[in-house]
Amino acid sequence: MADKSGSMKRPQRQLVLNKGAEKYIFRYEQGREDELLDALIEQAKDKRTDFDWFDAAVISFKLTQSLIGCAEQILREGDPKRDEGYLGTQDKDVRTIP
């Protein structure tokens, strides 16, 4: 998909963490996961929020699960005989939204 300038846009993804009454939404472009990890670190360091290092670990774990899922999908597309039920279930409090 191209934007108005004609350059290709990467798919937008997001991870959501529900923590009590608060909701943290982290949006990132596919391929820029490193920037998301940097944002998690900065958010965990920020004493003005209740987002802590455990929350950062939960989101980074979900990011890893998402990346593994994408890699497994690529592998399955290359080998249609591969077991379709191999992917694990997702946590209800933190979800990946493509």
pLDDT at 91: 43
Cα distances (angstroms) measured from residue 87 to each of 22, 33, 54, 84: 29, 21, 24, 8
Q: Given pLDDT bands bounded at 50, 70 and 90, which one contains residue 1?
A: very low
> Cα–Cα distance between 77 and 42 in angstroms, integer?
37
Q: At what angle do helices 53-78 and 33-45 cross, to 10 degrees?
A: 170
pLDDT at 60: 96
pTM of the model: 0.67
Give the mean pLDDT of the chain: 81
pLDDT in tens, 17-37: 999 999 999 999 989 999 999
pLDDT computed for residue 86 by the predictor: 47
